[in-house]
Structure 1
Amino acid sequence: MAGKKVLIVYAHQEPRSFSGSLKKVAVEELSKQGCAITISDLYAMDFEPRATRKDVIARPQGPTPGGVSVSGHSLWGVQMTGALSNPQFFNYGVEAYEAFKKRSLASDITDEQKKVQEADLVIFQFPLYWFSVPAILKGWMDRVLCQGFAFDIPGFYDSGFLKNKLALLSLTTGGTAEMYGKTGVSGDFRYFLWPLQHGALHFCGFKVLAPQISFAPEIASEEERKAMVASWAQRLKTIWEEEPIDCTPAWYFGQ
């Protein structure tokens, strides 16, 4: 699908990891299709996961007396914290919403929002940590998918602002596939996908594709790991033909 744009949000500390291999093959396969690929390598970027008042920067004030324009940064290149709508009681959601409307969010947030806005498909590549995403990726979701940009009230789930985009979770687990079956010790893998796929991605309007789960690569044989990578590469060949999952409680809990 030449001309399609893909954002890969990658959360792993080691480039030579199995997650790194999955990211690499995704870039290779999608590039062959003529897709434009953007990668947010969160650890390499040293992405800030904490949602703080520093995310609200000073609004542009025009030229200084010396003729130097100030646009949310000090003259030394350091972002200046902006005024809060309620300085007596800090509410991050409210302040991020107001800052988005005033175009006074920190640049690392707006840079990521621009990547998301331009993407047709967002792939999240990560290892499963405690049935969820690594902290750095959770922080990306907390800060980037803010009200005003990804959703509003009303304006969520099927009406979310990212409703014309696809999203896909590609993740690795420590446990085997048997552990994540309905009768497995960890329960059906769909259970832990509920807050990620439904509560975050679908809430923001994304059309969610079925997850790509690579079970227990660390204890798999070399042949099994190669097969997992090949399976991912094969799926990507027809990824644009896939239909999104039925993002309702029945998909997660009614099987």
Structure 2
Amino acid sequence: MKVLIVHAHPEPQSFTTAMRDLALETLQGQGHEVQVSDLYAMNWNPVASAADFVERENSDYLVYALEQRLGVKKGCLAADIQSELDKLLWADTLILNFPLYWFSVPAILKGWIDRVLVSGVCYGGKRFYDQGGLSGKRVLVSLTLGGREHMFGDDAIHGPLEDMLRPLLRGTLAYVGMDVLQPFVAWHVPYISHEERQKFLSAYQQRLETIGQDQPIEFPRLSQFDEFLYPLAQKS
């Protein structure tokens, strides 16, 4: 496999960083090629703006997705975006590694998504879900959080974790065509013992060692819809 790990945690000694290091060591130990984008260490700029284009089609009014498409064709994307896009296209497996912030990803990772999943390459028109531009690639979300596992679920105080991750898993990763694997979650990390943290690391290592056998989550396929994107089942 060719694996890109996108890591978003500001503390090099964090448990989330230990997960990144374990993923790198485990995957390379299995003979896989691995690249790492450590967003905080890179001082990654998360803000999508007109500065993301060396040249613009319309200098008077910024339509970001349109300028992305034209920027790809003309080779006018900012150098930091192009570098990350090259890594993403090189990889057949993506790992997003981060702590859960406010039911979502850290801002720096959201900015990586906004700027790197460019229109015209990753999506556009009816190129989404199984027809998305990144179809054939796999993605694993590995995350840490402070809550206990019993706090998440249908009748739990916070509701299902799947609901929190839906914008990422479905609205982003599945949308651009990737095969989305079940996330790996390390619960209550800031408050547990060293021994409990080691158990999470052992479980994560086992998951990584068998990642090629994982079955992706099922999401809509365009073949289930007509040309206007109405469900075909409604016509019967």
Q: Same fold (TM over 0.5)?
A: yes
Deviations, residues 232-251 of structure 1 (Å, cap 9, x unaligned): 00111111111111135xxx
1:38 counterpart = 2:62: no
Show the counterpart of 1:5.
2
| Structure 1 partner of 2:234 | none
Shift of 1:231: 0.4
Q: Which amino acid aligns with 2:37?
A: S
Select the residue among 72, 84, 92 that pairs with 1:100. 72
Residue equivalent to 2:11: 14
Amino acid at match of 2:188: A
Instruction: Tell me which of 220, 230, 241 is aligned to 2:202.
Output: 230
Alignment of 1:207-222 (within 5 A): 207-222=179-194
Given that 2:129 and 2:174 are in contact with CA atoms closer than 8 Å, whether structure 1 keeps it comes out as yes
Q: For the residues of structure 2 that align with 1:16 and 1:177, how far apart are their CA atoms? A: 24
SS in structure 1 of the partner of residue 41 of structure 2? helix
* Contact in 1 for aligned 2:93/2:138 (Cα 8 Å): yes
Distance 1:113 1:128 in 2: 24
Alpha-carbon distance between aligned partners in 1 of 2:49 and 2:60, rounded to the nearest angstrom: 15
What's the offset of the Cα at 1:88? 2.5
User: CA offset at residue 117 of structure 1?
Assistant: 0.6
Q: How many residues align?
A: 220
Gaps of at least 5 residues in structure 2 are 221-236
Aligned positions of 1:1-255 closer than 5 A: 4-57=1-54, 82=55, 84-247=56-219
Aligned residue type for 2:80 = D
- Counterpart CA distance in 2 for 1:92 and 1:120 is 27
The 1-side partners of 2:80 and 2:59 are apart by: 23
| Root mean square deviation of aligned Cα | 1.0
For residues 204-246 of structure 1, give each alpha carbon's deviation from its aligned partner in whole angstroms, at most 9, with x where no partner exists: 0000010001111101121111101110001111111111111
What per-residue deviation string (whole Å, max 9, x for no partner) do you get for residues 26-54 of structure 1? Answer: 11111111001100000000011000111
* CA shift for structure 1 position 86: 2.3
Residue 96 of structure 1, CA deviation: 1.6
Q: Which amino acid aligns with 1:193?
A: L
Q: What whole-Å deviation, never above 9, does each CA across 1:90-142 have from its counterpart, x for those lacking one?
A: 22122122211211100111100110111111000000011111011000000
User: Distance in 2 between the 1:247 and 1:173 partners?
Assistant: 25
Contact persistence 2:129–2:219 (CA under 8 A): no
- Distance, in Å, in 2 between the alignment partners of 1:92 and 1:236 is 36
Residue type matched to 1:211 in 2?
Answer: P
CA distance in 2, matches of 1:164, 1:246: 14
